[in-house]
């Protein structure tokens, strides 16, 4: 019987059912668009925390991304996977199942290849066949680190997809980007079309992880724009509000995902370790103990509660086709060198207005708000701005843009001094991390920007930085404030960090920190 089964031809790709790709959108089998709103649950390490599925659903998520392992950690068997799928269905969640074994391949010891990940999915196929309406297969988490590997991301991803298709998988397949999921070398962005076209079922979804690489609106918009132009499906498969490699712009990530109709999945429910415990959305798996990150993701502007729509396979309503009415012309007040307050006449909607997005005349997102007023920050001094507003509803429909308003920010300034002091957080033979470098406004008036300079010892090389715009000339490092941390009230402080390499045996660290406006 087994031999007879193995020679049966695979179902043609055109017959694929369940969740599927149509252009840049993800559709259910009935043709209704599905936009993911949810979080990740580290099931493979916390297999007894099954209540998490119901708790995640109680906060209005429509999707849960479930961490599994094929052997790098305790392997999740077909029976366990079947139970996970049952828990997703019981709680009316779409189940994105991901194999975590591939994380950081080529850079992290013990990581599996994408081919090994494909073999794992084949080994648990019995739990997945027939679940195409409910399950998306995320082949491998962050499958390549920052080092070059052979075969490269595109070839390895293509081969893994084709291996699954050859073995009869009809599911929508999700693929993560290289560079620990953040694609800063654009391996996924630039090869996505070829990878998609290589899928016989044309049912591949691309997942970008947005952490410190995506710390500005410009970077977020540019990446999303690339997939919009290509007409390919993109989701933010992981993101956070903070990270060891920088400060992600979660406000723009969420606002742009909502306005563009893209899915997003925050990381992660609970149980984080290794120094990123701050990414827990609830404390100790207790849904009644939401952290600040959990509050932001689930209940904040453009959050899950306001924008999630249950899948129609579970009885979710039909698509709301009616956009909100056009907002009124924004009026600017409280204009400073780095910000302004905008207010406008509220929109109306047949169901309800979920929020508003503010843009420059060139389409750059400046911010989002749940009300008809917003305090903009991080603007450039002595700069003319022309802005407009769009309203949106819970279905993701956007209104027409409001009439534009113009204003000019004041000149920068604010006399007085500031100080900077660096603390070595950790060091080893050939490198070290300085964090925090604390910047304090010691003047009696507010500052709108700061610049810190310091000297690297001879032979030292800067290898990374976060929360500052950094340039190097010789051994002199200049760190300037970002849009989100330049404004400091009197006696207020902020910080940034850096990493550097040094010759073996050289134990010197940076010195001579000076601060100026």
List the 384-393 sheet strands across, edge first.
365-369, 353-360, 384-393, 405-408
Q: Which of 313, 288, 347 is nearest to 298 (CA)?
A: 288
Q: What are phi and psi of 54, to 5 degrees?
A: -65, -35
Query: Residue 209: left (phi > 0), alpha (psi -120 to 50), or beta?
Result: beta
| Residue 103 CA: distances (Å) to CA of 135, 150, 462 | 21, 16, 26
Question: What sign does the CA torsion over 211, 251, 95, 158 have?
Answer: negative
Q: Which of 19, 35, 29 is nearest to 320 (CA)?
A: 35
**Residues found in the chain:** 517
Q: Which residues pair with 94 in a beta bridge?
A: 63
Q: Is 173 helix (H, G, I), strand (E, B) or coil?
A: strand
Choosing from 142, 170, 250, 277, which is the catalytic residue? Answer: 142
Q: Count Cβ neighbours within 10 Å for each residue of 390-426 and write b for 16 or more, e otherwise.
A: bbbbbbbbbbebbeebebebbebebeeebebebeeee
Per-state percent for the chain, helix, strand, coil, to nearest 5: 25, 30, 50
Which regions of 215-291 does DSSP assign to beta strands (E)? 234-239, 263-266
Q: Could you confirm whether 132 is annotated as catalytic?
A: no
The DSSP element (H or E) to which 513 belongs, if any, is strand 511-516
Distance (Å, whole) CA 332 – CA 366:
14
Choosing from 28, 132, 170, 238, which is the catalytic residue? Answer: 238
- At 245, list the tokens: 């490699």
Distance (Å, whole) CA 57 – CA 80:
20
Q: Could you confirm whether 170 is annotated as catalytic?
A: no
Chain mean position to CA 100: 17
Task: Report, as residue numbers or ranges, the catalytic residues.
Answer: 142, 238
């Amino acid at each position: 019987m087994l031999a007879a089964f193995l020679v049966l031809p695979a179902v043609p790709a055109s017959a694929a059912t369940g969740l599927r790709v149509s252009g840049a959108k993800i559709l259910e089998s009935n043709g209704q668009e599905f936009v993911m709103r949810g979080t990740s649950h580290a099931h493979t390490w916390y297999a007894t925390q099954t209540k998490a599925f119901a708790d995640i659903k109680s906060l209005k998520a429509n999707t849960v991304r479930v961490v599994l392992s094929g052997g790098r950690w305790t392997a999740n068997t077909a029976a366990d996977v079947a139970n996970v799928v049952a828990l997703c269905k019981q709680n009316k969640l779409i189940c994105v199942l991901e194999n975590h074994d591939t994380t950081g391949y080529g850079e992290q010891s013990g990581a599996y290849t994408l081919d090994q990940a494909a073999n794992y999915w084949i080994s648990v196929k019995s739990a997945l066949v027939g679940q195409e309406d409910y399950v998306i297969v995320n082949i491998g988490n962050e499958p390549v680190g920052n080092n070059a590997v052979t075969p490269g991301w595109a070839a390895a991803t293509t081969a893994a997809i084709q291996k699954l298709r050859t073995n009869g998988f009809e599911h929508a397949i999700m693929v993560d980007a290289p560079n620990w999921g953040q694609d800063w070398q654009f391996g996924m962005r630039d090869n996505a079309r070829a990878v998609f076209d290589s899928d016989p079922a044309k049912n591949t979804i691309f997942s970008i992880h947005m952490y410190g690489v995506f710390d500005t609106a410009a970077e977020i918009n540019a990446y999303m724009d690339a997939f919009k132009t290509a007409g390919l499906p993109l989701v933010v498969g992981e993101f956070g509000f903070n990270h060891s490699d920088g400060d992600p712009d979660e406000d723009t990530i969420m606002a742009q995902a909502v306005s563009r109709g893209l899915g997003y999945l925050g990381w992660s429910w609970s149980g984080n370790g290794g120094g990123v415990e701050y990414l827990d959305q609830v404390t100790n798996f207790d849904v009644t103990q939401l952290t600040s990150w959990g509050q932001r993701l689930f209940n904040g502007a453009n959050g899950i509660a306001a924008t999630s729509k249950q899948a129609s396979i579970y009885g979710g309503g039909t698509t709301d086709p009616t956009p909100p009415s056009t907002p009124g012309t924004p009026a600017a007040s409280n204009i400073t060198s780095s910000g302004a307050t905008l207010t406008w006449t509220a929109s109306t909607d047949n169901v309800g207005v979920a929020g508003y997005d503010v843009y420059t005349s060139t389409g750059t997102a400046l911010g989002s708000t749940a009300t008809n007023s917003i305090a903009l920050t991080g603007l450039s001094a002595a700069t003319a701005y022309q802005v407009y507003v769009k309203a949106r509803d819970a279905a993701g429909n956007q209104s027409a843009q409001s009439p534009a308003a113009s204003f000019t920010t004041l000149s920068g300034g604010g006399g007085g001094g500031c100080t900077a002091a660096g603390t070595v957080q950790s060091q080893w033979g050939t490198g070290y991390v300085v964090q925090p470098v604390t910047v304090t406004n010691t003047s009696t008036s507010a500052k709108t920007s700061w610049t810190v300079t310091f000297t690297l010892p001879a032979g030292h090389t800067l290898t990374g930085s976060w929360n500052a715009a950094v340039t190097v000339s010789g051994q002199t490092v200049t760190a300037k404030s970002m849009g989100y941390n330049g404004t400091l009230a009197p006696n207020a402080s902020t910080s940034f960090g850096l990493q550097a390499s040094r010759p073996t045996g050289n134990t010197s660290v940076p010195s001579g920190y000076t601060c100026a406006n």
